Copies of this chain bind each other. A is one copy, B any other.
Amino acid sequence: MSKHFNIDHKRDERVGFQEIVFGASKSVDQLSKIINDFIKYQKSVLCTKVQKKKAEVLSTEFPGSFYDEISKIFLVGKFPIHFSKNEVAILSGGTSDQYLVNEIYFTLKFFGKEAERFQDIGVAGVHRLLNNIEKLKKFKVIIVIAGFEGALPTVAGGLLPQPIIAVPAAVGYGISKGGRVALNSMLSSCANGITVVNIDNGYGAAMAALRILNLK
């Protein structure tokens, strides 16, 4: 039988961060093999979007592992001991987006960055954003999450000078089900210089922030 997985060990060298495992479409069996490959090379391994049932099996197989039920982040190994703080702010409109807030938060933590979370900064009550502007100006990168109509990054983009990474959330119903409206809204923003990642791609937003923070 052919071989199914080769860790891209040189990714770190090439792009400055190690490979992460996308957990959603892999079976427990496949994930287990991959995690053991990482362990063999004495590396920690972070898996994203690991469904709860799969995480429960894996938690038994890998004692001491970490699982965040909200974001479905699964970690075998350890978060770094030292963190840099005040580099990334994560803004979101409310409780429904928390799964992405956490995916970003834990991915950055895995790479030694502790982000600050500003939740419930909903655009339907714009004062909540306005009240935080001075505080927000101190961060290097702003990540903004929104579902439904996805307007928050546009308002934030008109008020803040930093790099802004917009993350559409698959939160909504009717026409906004699945997150496409938020995605398209962010791409069309009349605020300048906002960049966007795929729907629910919290992990990708964290990596984009990391690429910026890694600049010398």
Contacts and interface: CB of A to CB of B under 8 A. Distances in A.
B171 A25 contact: yes
A124 B4 contact: no
A19 B122 CA distance: 12
Interface in A192-215: 192-201, 203-212, 214-215
A124 B215 contact: no
Nearest to A95: B30
Residue from A16, A128, A150, A182 whose CB has the most chain B CB atoms within 10 Å: A150
Interface string A110-132: 00000011111011111110100
A183 interface: yes
Contact of A174 (B10, B172, B188): B188
Contacts of A203: 192
Contacts of A172: 188
Interface in A83-141: 93-96, 98, 116-120, 122-128, 130, 140
A213 B149 CA distance: 26
Task: Name the interface size band of chain A.
Answer: 35 or more
A190 B148 contact: yes
Nearest to A12: B161
A188 B195 contact: no
A57 interface: no
Give the one of A25, A148, A182, A190 with max B CB within 10 A: A190
Ordered nearest first, which 10 A-B pairs have the shortest CB separation? A193-B207, A174-B199, A195-B195, A176-B188, A151-B151, A124-B158, A16-B161, A2-B117, A174-B198, A25-B96
